[in-house]
Amino acid sequence: MTKLTETQSSRRDFLKAGQAVAAASALSGVALPHVHAAESNTVQIALVGCGGRGTGAVVDALSAKNGPTKLTAMADVFEERLVGSHQVLSQRFSSRMEVPMDRRFIGFDGFKKAMDCLRPGDVAILATPPAFRWVQFQYAIQKGLNVFMEKPITVDGPSSRKMFALGEESVKRGLKVGVGLMCRHCVARQELFQRIQSGELGELLLMRAYRMAGPTGQLPTERKPEGISELMYQVQKFHAFLWAGGGGFSDFLIHNIDETCWMKNAWPVQAEGSGGRHYKGQYVDQNFDSYAVEYTFADGTKFDMHGRTIAGCQTHFASYAHGTNGLAVISSQSHTPSRARIYKGHNLIRDDVVWAYPQPEPNPYQLEWEDLLDAIRNNKPYNEVKRGAEASLVTAMGRVACHTGQVVTYEDMLNHPVELAPNLDKLTMDSPAPVQPLPDGSYPMPQPGIVNNREY
């Protein structure tokens, strides 16, 4: 109850501050400093989206050995998420945080207010559901902020096109932008990449990856209960709704898709796929519970991606590359440690290992922050937006292939006209939800072969 009162008062305070914000936005077209050029050496951080990963990203930022960093503003659309995140972080980092009530913001415009608390060259963390990424990144660019944004960074063709354009703009302005595909910062995978590129695996013939687990995240979503609006339910349960983040396919499979295409050093040119709902029971989310995609690269070789979220089945969470000289394990189980290694044959036989990255491996979630801060402090070129948008687009290409039952090319996906959630930059708490429930309280589902030109 006390916390609610505090937040209400912070909202009121910020209504007043809103006028100052409007004045500050008038500067948005001005050329901005390229690096963190503040009077103090401390990089200030605003967290937008105070959930599990956003809170984790702040832990990584505040733990970076090339600090100092300080959390100075927070924004979320659910007060309890912000309060919970603040409490968790305060237990470990109270001396590295200064987020008084008038720098905590609740609402769909909270991101602007949080970013307005920063100076050009500080860092905004974008860790909301992915659909909001382009809206928030656009404002960060206007404010001259460096950015760390979580994957996926786009969900469909139109948001990908926007993100490519915003990425170019951020490069022009010299902003440093990290994208949370942290496996790219894994030193074991980096060494594997060099070994594959120098020919140790011979010619690459087949790539394959698996993320086969039980129900994950908010996939098991039931009909909306009383006491929450349709919009806020969809935002809260974002894995369940394709508009919000591309569903479980885009949210969970993107890491394996990205690391596998990295090793191939190419993006696939087309995807075909299948999937279905075996045991959804009372759950009404828009996801299938199994997916199989065959991606094709320009040289004709294939990459098979398997996803499953069915309890009681075998679990498998790993990526592989097969070449004429043998097999490489790109990742072994989850994201870290990768235990990257090369075998002389195509079986996982211990005696056939010809190279393995020595254990333990440094944590890539920490490394991605140290790399970003190093670029900020030393004004090194650093912008992962194009690559992040490509990974997001290729992931969406596989998802749309499964959901429509059609072959989808990279160009089809890039030029796809369907914007799953238009006008997100104008969203308020009173806006209608981007997808409307059916009369029975369930949501429109993909129907491959029946609905072929859009996902639902």
How would you write 397-446 as a 3-class SS string?
Answer: HHHHHHHHCCCEEHHHHHCCCCCCCCCHHHCCCCCCCCCCCCCCCCCCCC
Nearer to ligand NAD, 182 or 401 (CB): 182
Nearer to ligand NAD, 115 or 201 (CB): 115
Residue 25, token pair as written in the block:
């936005």
The Cα–Cα gap between 131 and 243 comes to 7
Nearer to ligand NAD, 36 or 184 (CB): 184
DSSP 135: H
Q: How far is the CB of 292 from ligand NAD (least distance, A)?
A: 22
Q: Is the peptide bond before 337 cis (omega within 30 degrees of 0)?
A: yes
Q: Which whole-number Å values give the CA distances from 208 to 34, 157, 205, in the listed order?
A: 40, 25, 10
Q: How far is the CB of 151 from ligand NAD (least distance, A)?
A: 6
Q: How far is the CB of 143 from ligand NAD (least distance, A)?
A: 16
Longest dimension (CA), the chain: 69
Nearer to ligand NAD, 29 or 227 (CB): 227
Q: How far is the CB of 39 from ligand NAD (least distance, A)?
A: 29
Q: How far is the CB of 57 from ligand NAD (least distance, A)?
A: 8
Residue 5, token pair as written in the block:
């009162």
Nearest Cα neighbor of 207 from 331, 378, 102, 94 is 331
Nearer to ligand NAD, 129 or 326 (CB): 129
Nearer to ligand NAD, 204 or 235 (CB): 235
Query: Is 333 strand, coil or helix?
Result: coil
Residue 409, token pair as written in the block:
């090319």
Q: How far is the CB of 216 from ligand NAD (least distance, A)?
A: 10
Q: How far is the CB of 269 from ligand NAD (least distance, A)?
A: 25
Nearer to ligand NAD, 17 or 240 (CB): 240
Nearer to ligand NAD, 129 or 273 (CB): 129
Q: How far is the CB of 110 from ligand NAD (least distance, A)?
A: 6
Q: Is the peptide bond before 434 cis (omega within 30 degrees of 0)?
A: no
Q: How far is the CB of 284 from ligand NAD (least distance, A)?
A: 18
Amino acid at the residue 435: V
Q: How far is the CB of 217 from ligand NAD (least distance, A)?
A: 7
The Cα–Cα gap between 89 and 117 comes to 19
In the bound state, the residue with its beta carbon closest to ligand NAD is 51
188 CA to centre of own chain? 22
Nearer to ligand NAD, 285 or 294 (CB): 285
- What backbone torsions phi and psi does residue 138 show, to the nearest 5 degrees? -55, -45
Q: Is the peptide bond before 360 cis (omega within 30 degrees of 0)?
A: yes
The contact set with ligand NAD (CB under 6 A) reads: 48-54, 75-78, 81, 108, 110-111, 127-130, 132, 150-151, 180, 182, 235, 245, 251
Residue 207, token pair as written in the block:
């790539």
The Cα–Cα gap between 296 and 9 comes to 55
Instruction: Locate all alpha helices (DSSP H) within 247-381, ordered by sequence.
Output: 247-264, 364-378
The Cα–Cα gap between 284 and 223 comes to 6
Nearer to ligand NAD, 132 or 283 (CB): 132
The Cα–Cα gap between 352 and 350 comes to 5
